[in-house]
Structure 1
Amino acid sequence: MRFVTLPNMRDPADTHRDLSERHRRSVSIRLKTDGPGKQISVGDAMNERQEPEGLESLEPPERQAQSSSIGHSHPYGPGARTLLLAIEDVLQRAIPEAIDLFYLRLNSLEVPKQLLGTLSGDEHSHLRMAQRDNLKLISDPALTEEAHRASALKIGRIHAIVGLDRQHLARSRGILLGALSDCVDIAAFGESLSILSRRLNRDLAWQLEAYEALQEARQQAVLDVTALAWSANSYTDLIAQIVRILGSLDEVTACGIGRPDHHGILRFEAVSDERMQRYLEAMEESDCCISIHIDKRTGQGPAGTAWRSGKPERVLNFQTDPAVAAWREIARTAGFRSSVAIPIRAPGHLPLAILSLYSALPGGFGGRSQRIFVDLLQTLLGFALARLQTIEGEGHTVPFGVRQRWVTLLRSDALQMHYQPIVDLASGEVKKVEVLARLYDGDQMLTPGDFLSVLSIEDYFALYVRALVRALEQRNVWLEAGFDLGISINLPPMALHDNRYLQATQEAMSTFRCPSGRLILEVLETERVPQSLESRDEFGKFKAIGVLLAEDDLGSGHSSLARLHQFPFDLVKIDRSIVGEINRDASDPLRFVYQLTRLGHSLGMSVVAEGIEDPDLLPALRILGVDAAQGYAISRPLPADDFFAWLRSRSGVPANELRTNRFVQLAQFLLWEEKLSLVINDPHGRERLIDSESADVERCPPEGESGDRALVDALLGIECDASERFFVTARQRSLIHAALEHGMRSKQYRSLRERATSEIG
């Protein structure tokens, strides 16, 4: 039997070179880094637009002229049907042998061989059957152009998803043609085989269209992720949008992103759909939760390895990869056949989270363009998480199921308001109350520190409105009982760029007839609010409706001074972390409180110290000029009814009545030292102080005496005001001498000062 080659008659209308120019555009994205920006062209990086190798003509030179005239026959329709009917029986007998030969030769190509090597025996059999059926379809005399195109696009999508690159697809088509030519005696069927060859060429072009469609979707995803990396306001918003964007890609069956908990177990915090959620639930039930530890059985999979290596790790086939045996059955049930685990990290840093993408086909995310896409995702998301970490801190891991439950509870009666009094230190009266949200998850009471990190922008708005309405409603209840209290509530930073907050605030104040100056909105100092005229104007809108503004947690961040100067705050709240240090070493924290108080007062603001747990601090804070205080030393946050009972039971005796203790003595010493600094730095005061240093003054300043002499006498410890009397005049004299001789920042003065403060306690 004589074998001849298949003619390759290329119709210019069929060639993939005529693909639209829109597939060749490139999109430039600048990734912001700590160093100089690096220009990355998505077109250059992702667009594998190299033309696949053409299907070489397999016919001998003497047939070229004949083939040229035959090539003008349309590959579909009555003429093509007649030609293919003539060879139909021959092809049906030859196709199985040609498919065997095709796969034997395909194994000579490295990438196809690797892909085929990941398949199980059943998967190999299924693939061969699918290839045979497709070849029979292409050679079907009754095939229409529309049906062929639909089939080719579907198969091209599969080839693109399994990671078969364009050039290997084109080369494999040449191998298929060669296999057919070696298995069929085609001397009498030149025209028939010309039709089949042209159909195969069109099949390749249409398959490449599917590649282009997937590539364009990846490019759009990169653009969306880039915009999100700059605009996301929180970790929760970022991961929710990431799984939405990536989960919409045709090649991504499901995806999830999460972080390890304190046991090293990866907890997915956002998932793309219910399939992914069921997959996670199945892992929980089978005790196959993913670990990041190398010594754990479930730490050997792609996610655990990726966390340790910092590089994307792939599973090309769950059914044959021994590293994922623990998840094989769970993945099969979920319909996952391949995956990639992407550690999200900034260059040179440890991972912050893991993004896992799953495919319904083997070989997913392993092709060249897919690898480039994965690398771009890792870079962009690494930047985004690093940026958000500087704003929010590391936070704690909350699994997706728990997140969903808390968000649901947020819109139910499980959300309750607790109230903590703010006491005026001069009068001892409760004039304000801070509203604090509490979320009850069964018997567990969650504070904002527990659940705020899981909230989206919409959840934040829902929480703000519910808290505001309940607080103003409760205020009217207390008002009827004779207690006119100011209400203080937190304002999220996104409120400045979301007009709904202003509208909701104005409506609530009108509904509950809250007068001007009785609602205080607190903005955390640690929250990033752009220092711009636009932000100042937005604050001004709240001020215009009668709201007071407070800078919360003053001293806990890096932008306090600029914000205090830039924005129209009415009061500031000194961060509890500063006050909390007082019990360990009271001198420096009290000095810090004093300076922050002076700063606030100099800007016309009231000052509140929060987090006060020791009642002995209250009189000291009053001496230092602090206007009000809140904390467990006064009362812990209470439900509305309990707070009302506490409020009515107060005797009216100031909680901060003056009494002597180590905090009071330290406060008095700080004020004395402040006076010393003023005198030392004033030439006339310094001269009088030198003259008086050796004098044995034992009298109070004469009534009406003022100026340097009175100040000098006060510094020498003969104050008439009992609240400013210091402990040992000799110690004072030593400090004065060291200040005059060496300066107040000298080692000598600091040593004496440390000794003096240690004697106080």
Structure 2
Amino acid sequence: MAIGNLFSKRNDAAKGGQRPIGKSDPRRLALLDDLENADIGWFWATDADCKLIYLSDNAAARFDCAKGGGLLGQPLSQLFQVADDGVEERVRRPLAFLLRARSTIIDLPVRLAVDDKETWWSLSGKAQFDGEGEFLGYRGSAKDITAARENEIEVGRMAKFDALTGLANRHSMTKRLATTLTAYKAAKRSCALMMLDLDRFKQVNDTLGHPAGDELLKQVAQRLERIIGTNGEIGRLGGDEFQVILPDIEDRGRLGELAGRVIQMVSQPYSVDGARAIIGTSIGIAVAPFDGIETEELVSAADLALYSAKGGGRGQYRFYSSELKDGARIRRVIEEDLRDALAMQSGLEMHYQPLVDAKTHNVKCFEALIRWNHPQRGYISPADFIPVAEDSNLIGPLGEWVLRQSCEDAAAWPGDLSVAVNVSAVQFANPELPKIVAAALDASGLPPSRLELELTESVFIGDPETTKEMFKALKKLGVRLALDDFGTGYSSLGYLKNAPFDKIKIDQSFVRGSTEPDNNNSAIITAIVSLAGALNMVTVAEGVEAKDELELVSGRGADLIQGWIFSRALPQGQVLERLESGELKFKAHGPAKYRADRISMFRRIGVIHEDHRYDAVMRNLSKTGARIEGLLDVPLGTQLVLDLGGGQLAVCTVRRSEGGEQGVEFEVPLISDGADGLCTRHRVSPYMLAAAGMPLAALPPGAYQMPKTRENDKKPPRFMQLDLTTEAARREH
């Protein structure tokens, strides 16, 4: 069909002359043909059923369709299909609507797909009617906008995704989280949020270069995608920060297991440009609606949990709790006070824990452990101030002080007793470390052979050649080297092959539970001891506390034993007293058998029985039970609910009862909170509290609010409440 027949009833040949071209001039048709041939734009037309009856040859040729064959006769609305990105869906509906309404179409972006070929057009057209108003079809024009459309899609993708890793970016994750929380609030659903920060990434970036750092981030993203899979959405917020949205997960046991797998996977070595890099990750976890209802509130909670995880020694996860707000403030105070303590050389002390011979129980070495006696707060745990020192760049001067003081103290010990001093990865990366060690030895007069430097696998994260040179410089001084926490990394065999270690310390995580049935730790200990023996290295079993553990590690061939079963860390004065009196032998003191860790405490809790709430004190806590005081003469078998605070309710049964003290067994075991504490898998839902008349909000700190009961329905309390104030005072005296 000729274009002239579609747009004009006149089809006479153009006549000569230079007069202006009018609407009825035959030369107008030749002008339209020239426009088509120039491929500047195309023309199309439909019949009264909106089926395509004409398409410019140049347009049809793009799909190998001569004269529009294969396209002609098809309904216009069916030629334009939905795109994968969902944009087409919004295009197709208005196109069909416009055609039915006989509306004018102006620059409507559509996609034409035929077989494996597709192109984007900008479509314009107008409905045609005869003199009696009867619809004849559409006549219109189109132009190719494929390049512009692909650029638009790419720009849109870049606005949503991180260019380096391909993960969602900060803006996209924030929008997704806000949308999810709004929808889930209405549906009374939960959503967990993980915040991840890579440990030691800056050191890799500094030593191997930024291109290597970028490659490392890509590999981390790939590992996260393999672990999380379809369970959540992963985003990179920038730098070495990642975020994971996990819909419909509130079980903290499941979240803790997932976080543990992420930490393990991310901590495995990376190959980057032929070099080996080792990093780790710390994770903060918050769950809506328990820890926050709105986006900013939940993100802030997860950030605080992450900050706590990094402060706890890194390579760990933490769940958010309301106490963390106070923890952030305390960390700032610790940093300021630690800076003053270093400047004034006040309050810092060195204590020494013995490493004894597994056969004779004679002391062979002491490990130097720093203690901080704060003038107002008393002794502050190293687990609290060492991470602060690392984050605030105080670890360098602190480590130097520890080295000098330990050498000075060890020089006063008789015989050939050695001292083991921990060296952090930050100290190891300092090129001046050999000079610092040499200066400490010279100042104290301690023979180099009596100094051991304990290193962890984190010292291997830098350039292999630089690491090798550092080992050579330290060994040249004559000091001994020990690999600490052996077995907790993923490539320790490589370290043993290439590094000049004299001693291996078996991490206490392998000693714990090694005597339990169906536990593989004992086999791992045997393998490590055999390997160390083949390499002429001394082995130390760390963290031995029970006599059955001592028997096992000694029987497996460990050379030295370290742990509370022999002694805690002693101040220099007590060490000298023992050595001067000739007490080189330590006697084993401890429980006969290992048992699951129990946390000793004095913590006020609530006890719920029927519709009454009692006050109690929890004396110790384990995953399976607790010891409480506060109720008198509770019968065996009584079911209670312990309110541990923050919406944590633990159903339990009384298994032991003596006067005002009860031992209870939990119906569902508690789980690790990622730190040194325990928590419940589930908590009281804010949705449930809202249904009972409370405002919908994150769980408040403190006690669970008992549902209101009508006075007539209340039963009298079954147990007598003890006066906890009087009881506490009595125990103190």
TM-score computed with the length of structure 2 as normaliser: 0.38
Q: TM-score, normalized by length of structure 1?
A: 0.36
- More strand per residue: 2
